[in-house]
Structure 1
Amino acid sequence: MSGVRGRFVRPRSSQPDLGRANRPRSGGDRRHDVAIVGGGPVGLLLGCLVAARGLDVVVLERRSEPSGSSRAIGIHPPGLRVLDAAGVGAAVRDRSAPIRDGVVSCEGRTLGRMRFREPVRALPQHETEALLEARLAALAPGALRRGVAVTGWRDRGTHVELAVASPPGAGVIAATYLVGADGVRSTVRQVAGIGWRERRGRAEYVMGDSDDTTDATTTALLYFEPSGVVESFPLPGGRRRWVAWVRRAPTPLDAEALATIVATRAGASVDPSSAGEPSGFTARQHLADRFANGRVALAGDAAHEVSPIGGQGMNLGWLDAQQLARDLAGGVAEGGVLEAFVAYDRARRSAAARAIRQARFNMRMGAPAAGARLRARNAAVRVLAVPPFRPLLAAAFTMRWL
């Protein structure tokens, strides 16, 4: 196929029984409509959406067990609507904590307040993934295959063949379309030869969860302090997440260190005895040169790396999945046409570029500031927090513009 070169790794053992025949090739092997590489929140959601449309889907995840680590929590209104379409929205609402408003302060003074027309929901990512995994199992039993590491793929003109290294004997998996939802180090993207360009916006943070000792049970607290931002969001079960900008993570990074940062900088209280082990991370930003190439499309972190604070990247990936599911269904209905992802590439890459610009602005606003810069920043926050700009600020926070 013109412009697409896939690296194919020859399997060392025979191909396993892949289940009932769907679209037989010359050898009688099953060909799926869609193969999704990556069983995180975006890959699982996309699997649910295409299975609900009646497509034959397989989701390949290299991890043998789900991850229970603390990651994204924010589920914004546009993302929640996609979860509704997948059939898990009601369960998410039932299990999550609503964030109905936000307060921005600096040095003990309130700079602004915003109330959200639709609440943001907070739910730990591993719980959201569990709901999606159960839904996929109900829609397409056996579609999720764990412990399967994809090592390469090749476009055969009418379909794509994937080679996998594990489990032994897994052989080759064939599908009409391939979606890479396999994260920032995406194998699918690398084999496709799609460029991965860094965008401006980079910062270091530490984060941790503890019992909520505030009286702001449905409020996001944003401390825009001279020494760097501290952000705090309610969680289910009377818990709260704390995220703080740092020049570098303290050593050792433990609950006491996180509590000290929050108390010293924001004057807020974190109970170390109730806190889980905190973690440090670097917020980086990248954008793929293309989101699609022939029969192959990228979604989620494989296509765009955006600051993860507030769940921006996860929700952006879910919106990728929403459009991609429609385009995949249309492509299969038309007999596996090659041009299925043209509109997806254009629309979702543009949306990701907007999200990256907003995240860069957010990181700049949260960086340390002093003197005239601090006064200008605080004045800008005050202006944004009053009519007619307040609704625009709330819409940006809840990602309604995506």
Structure 2
Amino acid sequence: MPDHEVVIVGAGPVGLLLACLLVQEGIDVVVCERRAEADPRTRAIGIHRPGQDALDAVELGSSVRQRALRLDGGDVISRGRTLASLSFTSDRPVLVLPQQQTDALLRERLGMLSPGALLSAHAVRGVRDEGPFVRVSVDMSDGVREITGALVVAADGVRSPRREELGIAWRPRAGAGTYAMADAVDVSGDRRARLYCEPDGLVESFPLPAGRRRWVVRRRSADAELLTAAAFLDVVETRTGVRPEMPDEVAPSVFDAAQHTARSHGRGRVVLLGDAQHEISPIGGQGMNLGWMDAVRLAETIVRDRAGGRYDFRGYGRRTRRSARVAQRRSAFYMSMGRPVHGASLVARDILIRTLGSAPLRRGSAGMITMRGI
């Protein structure tokens, strides 16, 4: 008999949510996480309706809604003019909560459901499908040990070593760019997001809880490294006319946005989940929510098939690939709207944005942003 029914590799928000879903169904789960402590990095902030539904399924929805800021809507601005304004309806709200807080709630919930299920400082070094079970090599503080599971779920991120170990191709999709990001003070109480689609490139501005606001800048090759607060603020002010309040010691983070899809959902008893299966550009804010949707689908499949001991993940793979394709197309479009453009291309882009924000199309545009149809 395997040591566990399911071994999950990676304790990000998607792996943790899957663990909670499975434990609630009486399934024996362990989560192996290479880090000794929770990830402190600034990551995802937006929680859309599908993500809220997934959190409700593990009884965290109310806790998230209490802590999160609810966006009133968003404005698209260019050269001082508002091109489009959208509001988010009560049936598809957009919540904003830093990922560190979401992760903390998921860790706490898993600890309540199954104390000891989360194994921190347990780095998985390899998996081997033995047919009736999977053997997992884990690097612990006292050396390498092996554990076994009826299933292994690789939720170990975009650079998933498990995906590479399985030899699953990682296919690029449209949409790429380099961005810099930092959080600033904002005590205005403004609950609207703003997208500055400027000639020299996109600047995004999102309110956060506790009097903060996140700023994201699309970098051009001509821009400085944007690794200091002063350099970052200079670019924001040059493009938007706004200079946020940010301490000098703040170090903006620079990241490359790209999109990929795994050729397969997994092999045998090893299944890919979340960013290990598909990379969605953070410009659009749908990646974490899509991973949560995948986790719900995967949990349903595991619960359905566990009695027979033979798992069929083909339906899970088809559904997750379809959702990823839709999300990637939307993110690629959002990124294209934020490219540096001038002349006739700038005029054409402004006309397109105005059209999408017009009364006949406004509801559909808001639905795209809030993951309707994914």
Q: Deviations over 1:113-140 (max 9, x none)?
A: 1111132111111111000000000111
2:227 is paired with a residue of what secondary structure? coil
Correspondence 1:1-400 to 2 at 5 A: 25=1, 31-117=3-89, 118-212=92-186, 215=188, 217-248=190-221, 250-251=224-225, 253-273=227-247, 276-334=250-308, 336-339=309-312, 341-400=313-372
Could you tell me how far 1:311 is from its partner in structure 2?
2.9
The Cα shift of 1:275 comes to 7.6
Other structure's SS at 2:360 match: coil
Structure 1 residue 272: deviation in Å?
Answer: 2.2
- Residue 337 of structure 1 aligns to a residue whose secondary structure is coil
CA contact (8 A) 2:230 2:248 kept: no
1:244 maps to amino acid: V
Counterpart Cα distance in 2 of 1:78 and 1:308:
16
Q: Which amino acid aligns with 1:279?
A: S
The question of whether the paired residues in 2 share the 8 Å contact of 1:292 and 1:342 is answered with no
What do residues 246-266 of structure 1 show as CA deviations (whole Å, max 9, x unaligned)? 124634611122211111101
How many Å separate the matches in 2 of 1:397 and 1:357?
Answer: 12
Preserved CA contact (<8 Å) 1:150 1:187 = no
- Counterpart Cα distance in 2 of 1:166 and 1:247: 43
- How many residue pairs get aligned? The number is 371
Distance 1:371 1:161 in 2: 59
- Using the size of structure 2 for normalisation, the TM-score is 0.96
Give 1:291 shift. 1.2
1:230 maps to a residue whose letter is V
**Could you tell me how far apart the structure 2 residues matched to 1:161 and 1:239 are?**
45
**Counterpart-to-counterpart distance in 2, 1:388 and 1:176:** 52
CA contact (8 A) 1:211 1:275 kept: no
Q: Answer yes or no: is the 8 Å Cα contact 2:283–2:334 preserved in 1.
A: no
Q: Which runs of 5+ in 1 are unaligned?
A: 1-24
State the secondary structure of the residue aligned to 2:111.
Answer: helix
Query: How far does residue 200 in structure 1 lie from its aligned partner after superposition?
Result: 1.9
Aligned AA for 2:237? Answer: A
Offset at residue 96 of structure 1 (A): 1.0
Identity of aligned residues (%): 47
Q: Secondary structure at the match of 2:175?
A: coil
TM-score scaled by structure 1? 0.89
CA deviation after TM superposition for structure 1 residue 401, in Å: 2.0
Q: Does the 8 Å contact 1:210/1:275 carry over to 2?
A: no
Report if the CA contact (8 A) 2:180-2:226 is conserved: no
Shift of 1:158: 1.2
Q: 2:64 touches 2:102 (CA, 8 Å); kept in 1?
A: yes
Cα distance in 1 for residues equivalent to 2:24 and 2:325 = 29
